[in-house]
């Protein structure tokens, strides 16, 4: 199964991604996670990416596309993968299409999680993530049993640097201007599944699984 997960910041992509990769046993490739790991490790890529991420802007394509195409040629992606946060604009999607054609790989589905713009800021600002296992929570809608502690592994929860109100608003605007056109792009390829993201976490997941079918 080769999937792209699409949706604005705060749509619940991270939460659903965890369930999808677990069910379909495919690697989760998140460009945001790759950049955050590089920032933590202080690499050159991390330093460059941080300048853009702190402002809620997209990291330039020349730093991003190669990362993904290199990753999906690795052995563990032979039977499938899930891209989360990539592509983020039409140019990235075109680069990906060219690469997939050259390597004889076809995408199965683009899962597009739809959430009204008005509620996205609150969703992203309330997000908390486990430092150890990456599980995501929301202070209001999906809170951990114990404040600040992960239910799964007892790790410490943190808030992403770019999940403050100002940066989230900018990221939503960037999504509307640059990423949303991908909905039309993939609709015209006939592989998009639009999912109502304003339902319970469980119902959103059920709709995604129905859209993907049970093929592995």
d(CA 28, CA 161): 22
Does 28 interact with ligand AMP (rule: CB under 6 A)?
Answer: no
In the bound state with ligand AMP, the residue whose beta carbon lies nearer, of 27 and 206, is 27
Q: Which stretch binds ligand AMP (CB under 6 A): 30-38, 72-80, 148-156, 205-213?
A: 30-38
- Nearest CA to 18 out of 133, 108, 180, 116 is that of 133
d(CA 3, CA 111): 7
Query: Among 20, 29, 59, 195, which residue sits at the site for ligand AMP (rule: CB under 6 A)?
Result: 59
Q: Is 16 annotated as a binding residue?
A: no
Q: Is 60 annotated as a binding residue?
A: no
Q: Is 87 annotated as a binding residue?
A: yes
Sheet bearing 136-138, strands edge to edge: 136-138, 127-130, 157-158
Query: Among 32, 80, 144, 197, which residue sits at the site for ligand AMP (rule: CB under 6 A)?
Result: 32
**In the beta sheet, which residues pair with residue 194?**
112
Catalytic residue (one of 50, 88, 109, 123):
88
Residues 62, 66, 67, 69, Cα dihedral to 10°? 150
DSSP 98: H
- Nearest CA to 36 out of 144, 182, 158 is that of 158
Query: Among 17, 29, 58, 72, which residue sits at the site for ligand AMP (rule: CB under 6 A)?
Result: 58
Q: Is 168 annotated as a binding residue?
A: no
Tell me if residue 127 is catalytic.
Answer: yes
Q: Which stretch binds ligand AMP (CB under 6 A): 86-94, 96-104, 108-116, 138-146?
A: 86-94
Catalytic residue (one of 2, 109, 123, 127):
127
Residues that are catalytic: 13, 88, 127, 160, 171
């Amino acid at each position: 199964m080769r999937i792209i997960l699409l949706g604005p910041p705060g749509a619940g992509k991270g939460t659903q991604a965890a369930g999808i990769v677990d069910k379909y046993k495919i690697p989760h490739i998140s460009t945001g996670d790759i950049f955050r790991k590089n920032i933590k490790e202080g690499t050159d890529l991390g330093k460059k990416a941080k300048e853009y991420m702190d402002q809620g802007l997209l990291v330039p394509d020349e730093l991003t596309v190669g990362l993904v195409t290199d990753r999906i040629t690795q052995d563990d992606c032979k039977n499938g993968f899930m891209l989360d946060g990539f592509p983020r604009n039409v140019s990235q999607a075109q680069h990906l299409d060219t690469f997939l054609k050259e390597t004889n790989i076809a995408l199965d589905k683009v899962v597009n999680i739809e959430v009204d713009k008005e509620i996205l800021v609150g969703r992203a600002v309330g997000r908390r993530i486990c430092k150890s296992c990456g599980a995501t929570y929301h202070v209001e809608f999906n809170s951990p049993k114990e404040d600040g502690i992960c239910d799964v592994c007892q790790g410490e929860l943190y808030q992403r640097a770019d999940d403050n109100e100002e940066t989230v608003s900018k990221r939503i605007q960037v999504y509307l201007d640059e990423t949303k056109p991908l909905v039309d792009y993939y609709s015209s390829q006939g592989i998009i599944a639009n999912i109502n993201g304003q339902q319970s976490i469980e119902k959103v997941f059920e709709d995604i699984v129905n859209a993907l079918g049970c093929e592995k």
